[in-house]
Amino acid sequence: MKNLKYFLIAGIAALGLSSCSSDFLDTAPTAETGTATAFETTDNVKLAINGCARVMMNQYLSTQGMCGEGCIKMWFGNYPGQDFYVNLPGWALLINQENHDTPTSQYTYYPWFYYYKLISNANSVIVHVDEAEGIEADKQFLKAQGLTFRAYAYMMLAQIYCKRWVDSDNGNCPGLVLRLDESVGDLPLTSLADAYTQIYADLDEAISLYQASGRKRGADEFFLPDIEVAYATYARAALNRQDWTNASKYAKLARANYPLMSNAQLLYDGFCTHNSEWIWGGYSATDQTLYYYSYHAYIAYNSNAGNVRNYPKCINKELFEQIPASDVRRQWWLDPTGYTYTKSTGEATSKTDLYKDTKANYPDLLSNAKVFAYMQFKVRCNDTPGVGELNNFRSSEMLLIEAEAEYMMGNTSAAQAALVALNKTSGRDPEYSCNKTGADLFNEIKLYRRVELWGEGFDWFDMKRWKDPLVRHNPDEGGNFLATLAVTIQPNEKNEWRFMIPTRETDYNKAVRDGVITPAE
């Protein structure tokens, strides 16, 4: 078991050092120790980089569930998407995307707060690492890690707060506040094009520094970025920007050293422990846990959290029915075929055979946990209530990025080959073949993104990027969503699927409040 030691650097929204284990580094935050001490040596800078990793796995804003990256996946990727069903009518505001144009909402504020906290920590590393005492190669590697964290954060902010690229007039629309040093105060929005230019520049420099350093992260440091993480960030950013050449190029590079997991791992590892396929993730252990706040406490089927026991997470029935019978991934969800259950909600009461058989087949499902048709068994936790490592990038996503990018460039055979590698060669579906072309091929790529990446926080982001209408059906219409959640949302509705910049930024930053935008060159 590993204890993650770290500095959390003071920034715009400062967070003092917290501790989840008695042998964490016992020290004061940078605001008390001073910048010179915090970055005096490369060993100290390493602690600051660990602090960036910890920012991504921490709890914020005194609100249950706002837990770093896990909250983004669950509340912003899964809940408002098309393929993730949960019996929560009281969450309709979030699930039905009703708060995108509410700048005072805590949901609107959280991603801005969280990612700019990560950026602030990364900026401190980038600004000061060259002055640290230590080996030059170590400085290069640490600076590259800081740049990778920053690029990732800006990429995610662009997806949440900016227009989809296809609607952006080639990026000539409002972008982000690009804070690239430790200064605070008024700073205007860039254009979206300039935001992506900065993301690319950070990743280009990071890749160059990784290569120059000759360094790699430690074998057990999957929670820290290295060159493959920079490649993966590049691939996802390029996909969002519709830069198909770079999307395919960097996806190939990112997955080259990360073979797909076996079917046994796929079905039984529970996406809570890193394996050969994980390019980057978040660290968690029993003595370093977010308790009931974590991603796994909201989704892991064997969690004892009320969010799971009472509200198990389910797949969209219409998506499940598209998965071939020969595909082992069907086993991620509870197939209710031949059983009776309450159609309006999906619940199987304790007197039903579906309930009894499910409890018998899944002995780690708690005795007081409810059973729902199509509930998920993909994600589990290593310990209760929600201990589990969090995946950020894995090579399956990279194969799907390749498939989409190659399709968009007109390389049909390459797109088909990527799907075959993901589905047949991997063993996920030994009967899979792909000879589809044109729109049918694109729909096939979409289908397997929806299946393979289900529950990992891609659903809403992909729907937005594709500019597809979100369509959920209730049981009478062939779906399994509650009537209050069975909505259709068009791409031009809900503020074009953009969260407004929160008032906590506009109240602080006069340049943004006054609508100042620096033009793209």
In a domain, 453, yes or no: yes
What pLDDT sits at residue 65?
Answer: 75
Q: Say if 498 falls within a structural domain.
A: yes
Is residue 337 included in any domain, yes or no? no
**Confidence (pLDDT) at 23:** 29
User: Which range of residues forms the domain containing residue 474?
Assistant: 30-283+391-506
**How many residues are recorded in the chain?**
521
What does the alpha-carbon distance between residue 255 and residue 426 come to, in Å, rounded to a whole number? 14
* Model pLDDT, residue 24: 24
Sign of CA dihedral 301, 456, 88, 103: positive
User: Helices 244-255 and 227-240 meet at what angle, rounded to 10?
Assistant: 150
Tell me the chain's radius of gyration from C-alpha atoms.
22
Task: Enter the pTM of the model.
Answer: 0.93
CA distances from 202 to 179, 210, 255, 409 (A): 13, 12, 20, 26
Q: How many domains does the chain have?
A: 1
Q: What are phi and psi of 98, to 5 degrees?
A: -85, -5
The strand pair at 390-394 and 314-315 is best described as unpaired
- 141, 165 Cβ separation under 8 angstroms: no
Angle between the 136-161 and 192-213 helix axes, to the nearest 10 degrees?
160
**Residue 299 neighbours by CB under 8 Å, 6+ apart:** 74, 78, 308, 313, 376, 379, 455
- Alpha-carbon torsion angle 225, 226, 229, 233, nearest 10: 80
- Taking CA 5 as the corner, what is the angle to CA 56 and CA 54, rounded to the nearest 5 degrees? 5
3-class secondary-structure state, position 36: helix
Residue 374 included in any domain: no
Q: What is the CATH number of the domain that holds 90?
A: 1.25.40.390
Strand 371-372 and strand 390-394: the pairing is unpaired
Q: Please name which of 36, 180, 52 lies closest in space to residue 117, comparing C-alpha atoms.
A: 52
Alpha carbon distance, N-terminus to C-terminus of the chain: 50
**pLDDT at residue 293, rounded to an integer:** 86
CA 415 to chain centre: 24
Residues 476/479/480/486 CA torsion (nearest 10 deg): -80
Q: DSSP 3-state helix, strand, coil percentages of the chain (rounded to 5)?
A: 45, 5, 45
> Is 83 part of any domain?
yes
> Which tokens hold the place of 206?
């990071």
SS3 per residue for 83-101: CEECCCHHHHHHHCCCCCC
Give a yes or no: residue 163 inside a domain: yes
pLDDT at 288: 77
Is 385 a member of any domain? no
CA 171/CA 192 separation, integer angstroms:
5
223 is a domain residue? yes
Q: Are 263 and 374 in contact (CB under 8 A)?
A: no
Phi, psi of 395 (to 5 degrees): -70, -20
- Neighbouring residues of 145: CB distance < 8 A, sequence distance ≥ 6: 49, 52, 125, 206, 224, 225, 226
Quick one: which of 118, 90, 108, 149 has its CA closest to 13? 118
User: Residue 403 has what pLDDT?
Assistant: 98
Residue 222 tokens, joined = 């999957």
Closest CA to 79 of 99, 62, 60, 103: 99
Phi-psi region of 261 (alpha: psi -120 to 50; beta: other; left: phi over 0): beta
pLDDT at 36: 66
Residues 182 and 124 sit within 8 Å (Cβ to Cβ): yes
The tens place of each residue's pLDDT in the chain, 521 residues long, gives: 354 555 555 443 333 323 333 222 233 334 444 566 789 999 999 999 999 999 999 888 877 778 899 999 999 999 999 999 999 999 999 999 998 999 999 999 999 999 999 999 999 999 999 999 999 999 999 999 999 999 999 999 999 999 999 999 999 999 999 999 998 889 999 999 999 999 999 999 999 999 999 999 998 999 999 999 999 999 999 999 999 999 999 999 999 999 999 999 999 999 999 999 999 999 988 887 777 888 999 999 999 999 999 999 999 999 999 999 999 999 999 999 999 999 999 999 999 999 999 999 999 999 999 999 999 999 999 999 989 999 999 999 999 999 999 999 999 999 999 999 999 999 999 999 999 999 999 999 999 999 999 999 999 999 999 999 999 999 999 999 999 999 999 999 999 999 999 999 999 999 998 776 665 55
Q: Residue 397: what pLDDT?
A: 98
Three-state DSSP class for residue 486: coil
What DSSP assignment string belongs to 113-142? HHHHHHHHHHHHHHHHGGGSBS-HHHHHHH
- Residue 108 CA to residue 102 CA, distance in Å, equals 7
What span, in angstroms and rounded, lies between the C-alpha atoms of 78 and 264? Answer: 25
